[in-house]
Amino acid sequence: MVEKEYSDKELGKIIIRENVRARRIVMRTRPDALYVTVPEGIAMKEIQVTIEKFRVKLIRSKKKVERKRIDLDYKIDTEFFKLSLVSGKQSKFLAHSELGETKIICPPTANFEDEELQAWLRKVIEEALRKNAKIILPSLIDDLSKQHKLPYESLKVNSSQGRWGSCSSRKDINLSYYLLLLPSHLVDYVLLHELAHTKEMNHSDKFWTILNQLTQGKALELRGVLKGYSTDF
């Protein structure tokens, strides 16, 4: 088996393996590298074209396999959402929730190496985020809407991982419940961004002028900072 290796800024280590039995390009994301199995004699250019075609999905997959394991040391600690896991004496998992804070009480026999348990814990956290966001986000955007005299038509909180928020031409705003994972000043930035769209739907110079006025001239700076965050937890 012929093997080549190179590094990509976003995808990290990429290992390309030629296999005489391979009929097509197959890509697998693992914690240590992206493994690409290819038919014998295939051109490097074709491999790179395929990687580029699926780059967004591969980056998302890479983040998932690199996720921090959820165990007793795991915490989420932002202004609007706090979560922790503690050891209990009971035989089953229990969850205790208050607005803005969730505590998962774990049995002493919990095996945090089990992937099914990891998937279940993530679903519990996502549900806690959803419930909290449906209470917290409407209040926050209402305050900003009134403060800046930027009315909107309706608000929906969803599970979008591709975008923090959106605003339709009818002034219907959608917000991702993953916003609660952000620092409060970035939550405000996203909400103001969508409210600014109620006056200017595109991202023209006029839009950025409006958003700059709403953010004390820090619109582009805040946009840059936001790019460093993701919906993964």
Is the pLDDT score of 233 beyond 90?
A: no
pLDDT digits (tens, 9 = 90+) for 93-115: 999 989 999 999 999 999 999 98
Q: Band of the pLDDT at 1, cuts 50, 70, 90?
A: low
Look at residues 93, 10, 19 and name the one whose alpha carbon lies nearest to residue 52. 10
What is the pLDDT, as a whole number, of residue 126?
95
Q: How far is it, in rounded angstroms, from Cα 207 to Cα 107?
A: 52
How do residues 138-153 score in pLDDT, each as one tens digit? 999 999 999 999 999 9
Question: For domain 136-226, which CATH number applies: 3.20.20.100, 3.30.2010.10, 3.40.1400.10, 1.10.260.40?
Answer: 3.30.2010.10
Instruction: Give me the pLDDT at residue 64, please.
Output: 77
H-only helix segments in 74-228? 115-148, 184-196, 205-214, 219-226
pTM of the model: 0.74
- C-alpha 209 chain-centroid distance: 28
What residues does each domain of the chain span?
A: 3-65, 75-131, 136-226
How many CB atoms are located within 10 Å of the residue 106 CB? 20
Alpha helices, DSSP H, located in 25-163: 44-53, 55-65, 115-148
Share of the chain above pLDDT 70, in %: 99
Pick the closest to residue 89 from 103, 73, 102, 106 (CA basis): 106
Contact 69, 112 (CB under 8 A): yes
Structure tokens at 173: 């705003």
